[in-house]
């Protein structure tokens, strides 16, 4: 059974109920029919949190993709819940929301760079309230980076709506410039494509979690920039 990925349509879901569909004693993993836990990917770390059932609390050591399912790996010293058990999942909301703000901030940065300079992303990563993106720039200078910081904060202040849609593959790939990375990371044969749109600024394929409005991001600070190759420059950001 494929796990229903609740976070794909509702990033603000903090708690949910689900049924245990399988367990793997070897890896201490619990599989559910539905989950709101993001399993990591695209540079965004996995969520943290707990599963609860009949008074038992299962702290998640990690959450990760396992084929079309999501493995909820719990602490090794506890007895796994039986298949068919109803559990309640509770996210570490502070951790999740910081990542949502950070991920959306990186999309603002990506959107501004692509709109103003037509430059693609070559890599990226994030942790709560800080992240970085690599771009196909030959050079970066302090004055340029300062202009970028001003431009991305202007977009945040515009309070732009952030929309998420899941589209049939054929429809999605009719969208110009849907893939903003140098390498297309979408799996071959995928039939549905999730898109994230910052209305009026950016629209791209993406699987992570985001805020509903850029005003939630807060001020973005460009804290550093480095050369990572002849045509590969890195920009670092942080949020408060």
SS3 call for 118: coil
Range in 66-75, 84-93, 95-104 the model is least confident about: 66-75
**In the prediction, which pLDDT does 183 show?**
52
How far are the Cα atoms of 108, 112, 150, 217, 239 from residue 153, in angstroms, in the given order? 9, 10, 5, 10, 11
Q: Reading across the β-sheet that carries 121-127, which strands appear in turn?
A: 121-127, 130-135, 233-239, 220-227
Helix extents (H) in the chain: 93-117, 142-157, 169-172
Instruction: Kindly tell me the burial class for residue 139, based on how many C-beta atoms sit within 10 Å of its own C-beta (0-12, 13-18, 19 or more).
Output: exposed
CB 72 within 8 A of CB 60: yes
CATH fold of 4-91? Elongation Factor Tu (Ef-tu); domain 3 (2.40.30)
CATH architecture, domain defined by 96-239: 2-Layer Sandwich (3.30)
Residue owning tokens 């109803």: 86
Q: Where are the domains of the chain?
A: 4-91, 96-239
**What span, in angstroms and rounded, lies between the C-alpha atoms of 31 and 18?**
10
**Residue 181's pLDDT is what?**
64
Q: How high is the mean pLDDT of the chain? A: 93
Whole-model pTM? 0.93
Query: How far apart (Å, rounded) are the C-alpha atoms in residues 36 and 5?
Result: 6
Grade residue 79 by pLDDT with cuts at 50, 70 and 90: very high
Residue 27 has pLDDT above 70, yes or no: yes
pLDDT of residue 11: 98
pLDDT in tens, 168-208: 888 887 887 776 665 555 666 678 899 999 999 999 989 99
User: What is the per-residue pLDDT for 98?
Assistant: 98
Pairing of strands 4-5, 49-53: unpaired
For the residues 7-11, what does the mean pLDDT come to?
A: 97
Q: Say what the pLDDT of residue 226 is.
A: 96
């Amino acid at each position: 059974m494929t796990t229903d990925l609740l976070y794909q349509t509702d990033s603000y879901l903090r708690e949910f109920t689900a049924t245990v569909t399988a367990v793997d004693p070897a890896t201490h993993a619990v599989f559910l029919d539905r989950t709101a836990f993001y399993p990591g990917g695209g540079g965004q770390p996995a969520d943290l949190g707990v599963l609860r059932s009949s008074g038992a609390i299962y702290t998640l050591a990690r959450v990760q993709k396992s084929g079309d399912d999501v493995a909820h790996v719990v602490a090794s010293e506890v007895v796994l819940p039986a298949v068919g058990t109803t559990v309640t999942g509770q996210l570490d909301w502070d951790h999740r929301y910081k990542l949502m703000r950070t991920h959306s901030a990186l999309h603002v940065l990506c959107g501004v760079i692509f709109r103003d300079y037509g430059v693609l992303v070559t890599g990226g990563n994030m942790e709560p309230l800080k992240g970085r993106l690599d771009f196909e720039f030959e050079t970066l200078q302090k004055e340029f980076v300062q202009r970028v910081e001003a431009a991305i904060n202007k977009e945040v202040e515009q309070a732009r709506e952030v929309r998420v849609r899941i589209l049939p593959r054929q429809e999605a790939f009719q969208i110009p410039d849907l893939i903003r990375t140098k390498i297309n990371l979408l799996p071959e044969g995928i039939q549905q494509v999730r898109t994230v749109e910052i209305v009026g600024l950016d629209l791209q394929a993406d699987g992570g979690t985001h805020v509903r409005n850029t005003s939630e991001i807060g001020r973005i600070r460009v804290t550093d920039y480095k050369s990572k190759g002849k045509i590969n420059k890195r920009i670092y950001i942080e949020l408060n």
